[in-house]
């Protein structure tokens, strides 16, 4: 789940490097546009700018005279948007799709259905919410299995889930060639010509970064005399005065504690394919039965992620996978995609989260807007309550799940497209890991990766199966050369 995602080419809206440059007036390359200036600005703003560019592209491809065309698939009547004729044949050209995604019905909150996951035992699966579609299965793992997973993770070794300073910032800042006026305008969500605290906070946190609170921001303003009239608003003039070096020095001197990061945990990845520990292989089979998805999809998904939160650990609220625009590529099918795009997300259709121990204090999984009547991003951060803050306001969320050893919860990060495949991102799947107040918390995540573009998923699976047969051939000729494809995926 949640609680953790890969630390590198991750998640969310996660474009890697934005190459497209919208048409605009020539830029004033004055001293304020120095590299250090951008470094500073990007500490807060790089994610937001990328989001905006993604949105602009989305609008462009939907409205523009563009290359985008919509075709109707004669076999199922679905709409497929693509930018050029597809040179690759589908998995089963001219026939029905060979894969579809069954979706489990939630019925209503509190509804219990019996599921058969292991021989000689019936599990109960309880619906926790409908938005997102979220279930809880007590006793999904035995105590012994939990211990095995924890031990295997310890054996492999865990690394920090978030490094203190993102490494790609400098590269990114060189790619983004924006004037202060342009940045200001992008940040000014309500276009009132001033930057409110929320406007900066909302977008400074999307990807792993420093978790600033309104108080932190006021402290920074005060330290830099950035807001001389003290109204918590930055005018364009005030914004331009935010000089690079001073800002950087300020942050350096102030220092960043682990508690001020978006995520404060350690994690590792455990391979679950052939040759893996039998508990890990069995776990994946059980996940296949639970989700009722084709095993080929589950088997080509990410390995098991095991996460440890020490006392004081947390993971602020986030989505496991980002929205999908026509330009978006999925990390897992990227190898098989013919196009190159700067926009990439992990396409985690389902999250299955396992609690590997019962936590002494705190550590709940919170879904702040579960079953809300509406979802409004701007109302998540109010002056006194920040629903995204898992250190301070976990108790204000709509739904909290207490970690119980062996229990699994799972939910859909995307809606259905109504035709048996992946639809839009489910914004209600927002969730986080509350502050661990006592003891240690161990969880594991299985993500099921599905490309919303059916053809791309099909091509990917075709490619993998071809490579696997080639490897089997090679291995038969030379047994020492055998390597497992999964390690590279
Ligand atoms: Ca504003
Ligand atoms: Ca001001």
Structural domains in the chain, sorted by start: 33-65+165-260 (no CATH), 112-162+262-474 (2.60.120.620)
Looking at the CA of 188, name the nearest ligand: 1
Angle of helix 143-156 relative to helix 278-291, nearest 10 degrees?
120
Write down the pLDDT at residue 246: 62
* Ligand showing the shortest atom-to-Cα distance for residue 218: 2
Q: Where are the alpha helices (DSSP H) in 28-179?
A: 35-63, 143-156, 169-175
Predicted local distance difference test score (pLDDT) of residue 472: 80
Interval between CA 219 and ligand 2 midpoint (Å): 14
The pTM of the full predicted model, rounded to 2 decimals, is 0.74
Ligand 2 center from residue 438 Cα (angstroms): 41
Q: Find the 194 Cα to ligand 1 centroid distance in Å.
A: 4
Going from the Cα of 200 to the center of ligand 1, the distance in angstroms, rounded, reads: 9
User: 231 and 197 in contact (C-beta within 8 Å)?
Assistant: no
pLDDT at position 251 is: 64
Report the chain (489 residues): mean pLDDT per 10 consecutive residues: 36 33 35 37 43 45 34 33 36 60 97 96 98 98 98 97 60 60 83 88 67 84 88 90 64 73 94 97 98 95 97 95 88 80 87 98 98 85 85 95 98 96 96 98 98 93 89 72 41
pLDDT tens sequence across 61-74: 443 333 322 222 33
Q: Give the number of whichever ligand sits closest to the CA of residue 184.
A: 1
The Å distance, Cα 195 to ligand 1 centre, comes to 4
Q: What pLDDT shows up at residue 64?
A: 34
Residue with tokens 């001033």: 194
What is the secondary structure of 245-283 as a DSSP string? Answer: HHHHHHHHHH---GGGBSEE-EEEEE--STTS-HHHHHH
DSSP-derived secondary structure letter, 122: E
CB 317 within 8 A of CB 388: yes
* Residue listed under structure tokens 């109960």: 124
How far is residue 20's CA from residue 35's CA, in Å, rounded to a whole number?
20
């Amino acid at each position: 789940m949640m609680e953790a995602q890969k630390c590198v080419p991750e998640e969310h809206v996660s474009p890697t490097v934005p190459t497209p440059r919208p048409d605009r007036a020539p830029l004033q390359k004055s001293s304020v546009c120095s590299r250090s200036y951008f470094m500073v600005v990007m500490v807060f703003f790089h994610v937001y700018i990328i989001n905006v560019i993604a949105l602009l592209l989305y609008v462009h491809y939907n409205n523009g005279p563009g290359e985008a065309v919509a075709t109707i698939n004669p076999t199922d009547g679905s709409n497929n948007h693509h930018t050029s004729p597809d040179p690759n044949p589908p998995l089963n050209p001219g026939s029905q799709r060979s894969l579809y995604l069954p979706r489990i019905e939630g019925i209503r909150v509190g509804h219990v259905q019996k599921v058969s996951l292991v021989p000689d035992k019936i599990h109960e699966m309880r619906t926790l919410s409908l938005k997102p579609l979220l279930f809880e299965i007590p006793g999904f793992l035995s105590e012994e299995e939990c211990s095995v997973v924890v031990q295997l993770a310890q054996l492999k070794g865990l690394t920090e889930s978030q490094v203190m300073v993102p490494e790609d910032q400098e590269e990114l800042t060189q790619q983004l060639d924006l004037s202060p006026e342009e940045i200001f305008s992008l940040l000014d969500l309500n276009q009132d010509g001033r930057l409110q605290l929320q406007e900066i906070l909302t977008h400074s946190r999307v990807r792993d970064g420093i978790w600033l609170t309104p108080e932190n921001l006021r402290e920074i303003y005060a330290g830099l005399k950035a807001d001389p009239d003290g109204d918590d608003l930055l005018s364009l003039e005030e914004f331009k005065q935010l000089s690079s070096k001073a800002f950087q020095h300020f942050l350096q001197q102030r220092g960043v504690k682990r508690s001020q990061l978006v995520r404060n945990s350690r994690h590792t990845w455990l391979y679950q394919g052939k040759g893996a520990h039998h508990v890990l292989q069995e776990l994946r089979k059980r996940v296949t039965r639970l989700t009722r998805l084709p095993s080929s999809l589950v088997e080509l998904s990410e390995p098991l992620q095991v996460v440890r939160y020490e006392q004081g650990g947390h993971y602020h609220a986030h989505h496991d996978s980002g929205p999908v625009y026509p330009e978006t590529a999925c990390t897992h099918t990227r190898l098989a995609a013919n196009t190159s795009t700067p926009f990439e997300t992990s396409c985690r259709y389902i999250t299955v989260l396992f609690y590997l121990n019962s936590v002494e204090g705190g550590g709940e999984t919170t879904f702040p807007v579960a079953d809300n009547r509406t979802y409004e991003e701007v109302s998540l951060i109010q002056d006194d309550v920040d629903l995204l803050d898992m250190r301070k306001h976990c108790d204000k969320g709509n739904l909290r799940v207490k970690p119980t050893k062996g229990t699994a919860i799972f939910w859909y990060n995307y809606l259905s497209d109504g035709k048996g495949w992946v639809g839009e991102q489910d914004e209600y799947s927002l969730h986080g890991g509350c502050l661990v107040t006592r003891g240690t918390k161990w969880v594991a995540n299985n993500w099921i990766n599905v490309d919303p573009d059916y053809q791309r998923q099909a091509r990917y699976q075709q490619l993998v199966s071809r490579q696997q047969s080639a490897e089997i051939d090679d291995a038969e000729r030379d047994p020492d050369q055998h390597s497992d494809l999964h390690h590279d995926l």
